[in-house]
């Protein structure tokens, strides 16, 4: 069992090392590969005859399955924390599928949660893994964060799916406008403001209601004050509550935007799950 977890780690690391671009290419192969790993390590099927190193696109595509696959595995394994190998596999699955799929950082992609992180997550504390990286000429800041929200998953999903709530969920966001909307996604215009500085951009948002998964990417073909950005939010149920997984990477450029927003970036970027909790829990502290 532990050796199997090591195999998952190696697959995740190889996917992370080859970089992460938001794409759905290779989705079928990636999902089959990761499902086969779960079946094998949990005793639900024979060992695959061959397990090639997961391409980054394959691992990324699997994030769409995290709502009932990797993401759901976290909530399932939180019920049986005493079974360390299975619990480690579940935590590794959400870290690999959620973080590596969009962020592909070495820190998050191959590491299961520590004991303190597991305890914090169960007790409703925010678990954060800040990250920075250089990719394709961009200098990204961001990371991944997780939080248990004491509300049913259907209610939380309605909240994060509604664009009118974005200014209350995303720090410094002052306005959001839906430009167009179609099956499975929408194009939105977003504007951030802090002190005397503003930054606006368009983002393509993809929505998977069945898996309660949403991803977004800055549309560089339209006017944008940030250089690049992408991320995701995924929900999974846990004992009547919801675990919110959030990941983001952004290059906000330099100049005035960096001078004003820079000192707060990591804190703002990773506190979104806490803002989700403030929105849906009546007695929660403001984020």
Q: Which domains does the chain have, with CATH numbers?
A: 2-113 (no CATH), 127-280 (3.30.530.20)
Flag the least confident range among 35-39, 47-51, 251-255: 47-51
Stated pTM of the model: 0.64
CB 192 within 8 A of CB 167: no
Angle at 224 between CA 200 and CA 278, to 5 degrees: 35
Flag the least confident range among 101-115, 194-208, 214-228, 259-273: 101-115
> Over the stretch 42-80, which tens digit does the pLDDT of each residue have?
333 333 332 223 233 333 333 333 333 334 445 544 544
175's tokens? 């306005």
CB 94 within 8 A of CB 55: no
> Over the stretch 83-137, which tens digit does the pLDDT of each residue have?
444 443 344 444 343 333 343 332 333 358 899 999 999 999 999 999 888 999 9
What percent of the chain is predicted at pLDDT more than 90?
A: 43
Look at residue 273 and tell me whether its pLDDT is greater than 80.
yes
Most distant pair of Cα atoms in the chain: their distance: 60
């Amino acid at each position: 069992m532990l050796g199997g977890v090591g195999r998952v780690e190696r697959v995740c690391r190889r996917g992370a090392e080859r970089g992460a671009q938001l794409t759905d290419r290779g989705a079928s192969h990636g999902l089959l590969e990761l499902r086969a790993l779960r079946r094998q390590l949990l005793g639900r099927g024979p060992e695959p005859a061959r397990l090639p190193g997961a391409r980054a696109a394959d691992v990324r595509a699997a994030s769409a399955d995290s709502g009932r696959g990797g993401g759901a595995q976290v909530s399932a394994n939180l019920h049986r924390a005493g079974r360390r190998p299975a619990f480690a596999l579940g935590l590794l699955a959400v870290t690999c599928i959620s973080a590596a799929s969009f962020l592909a950082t070495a820190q998050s992609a191959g590491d299961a949660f520590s004991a303190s992180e597991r305890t914090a997550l169960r007790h409703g504390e925010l678990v954060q893994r800040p990250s920075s990286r250089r990719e394709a000429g961009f200098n990204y800041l961001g990371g991944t964060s997780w939080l248990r929200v004491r509300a049913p998953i259907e209610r939380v999903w309605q909240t994060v799916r509604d664009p009118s709530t974005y200014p209350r969920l995303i720090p410094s966001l002052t306005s959001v406008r839906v430009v167009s909307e179609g099956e499975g996604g929408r194009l939105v215009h977003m504007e951030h403001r802090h002190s005397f500085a503003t930054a606006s951009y368009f983002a393509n948002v993809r929505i998977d209601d069945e898996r309660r998964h949403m991803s977004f990417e800055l549309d560089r073909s339209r006017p944008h004050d940030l250089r690049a950005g992408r991320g995701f939010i995924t929900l999974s149920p846990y004992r009547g509550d919801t675990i919110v997984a959030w990941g983001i990477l952004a290059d906000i450029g330099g100049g005035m935007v960096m001078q004003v927003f820079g000192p707060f970036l990591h804190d703002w970027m990773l506190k979104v799950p806490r803002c989700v909790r403030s929105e849906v829990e009546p007695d929660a502290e403001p984020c």
